[in-house]
Copies of this chain bind each other. A is one copy, B any other.
Amino acid sequence: MKLTEQRVCEFIDILASDAPAPGGGSAAALMAAQGASLVGMVAALTAGKPKYVEHDELARRIMSEAETLRLKLAGAIDRDTEAFNGVSAVFAMPKSSDDEKAARKAAMQAALKTATSVPLEVMELALKSLELTVQAVGKTNTNAASDLGVAALSLLAGVKGAWLNVLINLGGVTDEGFVANHKSRGLEIVDKAERLSAQIYNEIISTL
């Protein structure tokens, strides 16, 4: 059964179990999805309200973009665990002959690349969600200000949690170009996300 089809209490229980998956990668995707949800909620609590008519168009655009990001991030909860299982499956491949060894090695490289690319995609989506959250600050329902702050925290935890999962899988990848590209893009995202999240959190907390 898909992780996102589990009840919340079951998901938390499975996460805590000694099954190696789901692990931190799926947890990071869920945190990021929660962040996108909260930005969407704050926009939804703003759109159509006379008090915020000036920002109505912005609120509707944020709602729509946040929904797209949320659905993609929710999908990544399962895709990260599938990618992890893909790596695990390679360990069961035979390695008696040279041909088998070569096939196993190639399969491992492909599986590790997927297990690196899924969390990097979570980082990209969470960064986009943070860029959306920044646009909402000061222009959305002030009753939900704290929710924008929680969005910023969830999205940063999602970015950095996914980054740890990029790094742990990247360690086994032998394609130097792939490693260099993923490392530099990942570092760039972490840096941007830290700045944006801190900016949002500090702006919000100064109003509470």
Contact = CB atoms under 8 A, between A and B. Distances in A.
Interface of A: 3-9, 11-13, 15-18, 20, 23-25, 27-28, 30-31, 33-34, 36-38, 40-41, 44-45, 66-67, 70, 74, 77, 143-147, 149-151, 153-154, 156-157, 160-161, 164-165, 167-168, 171, 201, 204-205, 208
Contacts of A147: 23-24
A12 B8 CA distance: 10
A16 B31 contact: no
A149 B161 contact: yes
A7 B5 contact: yes
B146 A168 contact: yes
A26 B133 CA distance: 19
A164 B208 contact: yes
Given A164-B150, A164-B205, A7 B9 contact: no
- How many copies of the polypeptide does the oligomer hold? 2
**Centre residue among A5, A67, A147, A171 by max chain B CB count within 10 A:** A147
Contact of A9 (B34, B45, B74): B74
Contacts of A165: 146, 150
B34 A38 contact: no
B34 A31 contact: yes
Contacts of A70: 12, 16
B30 A208 contact: no
A17 B151 CA distance: 14
A46 to B, nearest CB: 9
Given A12-B70, A23-B147, A37-B12, A154 B31 contact: yes
**Centre residue among A12, A143, A147, A201 by max chain B CB count within 10 A:** A12
**Centre residue among A30, A143, A161 by max chain B CB count within 10 A:** A161
